[in-house]
Homo-oligomer: A and B are copies of this chain.
Amino acid sequence: MSLIAKTPKPPYYAVIFTSHRSVHSNGDDGYDEMAVRMEELASQQAGFLGVESAREEVGITVSYWNSLESIKNWKANTEHQQAQKNGRSLWYSNFTVRICKVERDYCL
């Protein structure tokens, strides 16, 4: 269940990961299990602030972090590195990752 992330007062950082799943993948190929595990693992990292995720034709996952260093450390995490490798070879036909500084926010 993905909710709207409760993030602190800006500035903080966002990683926007937009993807298309590979149509050639053999059934699930461990994708769903990986996605759950990566969200769990990310939430344990220093500097993690929250995550939001939805998929229709395109999948969008936005994770929020307190610094660029925490994003860098998460990218370098060993288990995450293996997921990134499988993502490139197996799960995604294409994706874009955007590293952003959140400058302002407001809510309803």
B97 & A106 in contact (Cβ 8 Å cutoff): yes
Residues in B with CB closer than 8 Å to A99 are 102-105
Residues in B with CB closer than 8 Å to A88 are 108
Q: List 9 A-B contacts (CB under 8 A).
A: A4-B18, A7-B96, A16-B62, A18-B62, A60-B60, A92-B108, A97-B106, A98-B104, A99-B102
Query: Binding site of A, secondary structure by majority: helix, strand, loop or mixed?
Result: strand
A23 near B: Cβ within 8 Å? Answer: no
Measured in the bound complex, the distance between the Cα atoms of B100 and A102 in whole Å is: 4
B20 & A4 in contact (Cβ 8 Å cutoff): yes
A21 to chain B, nearest CB (A): 12
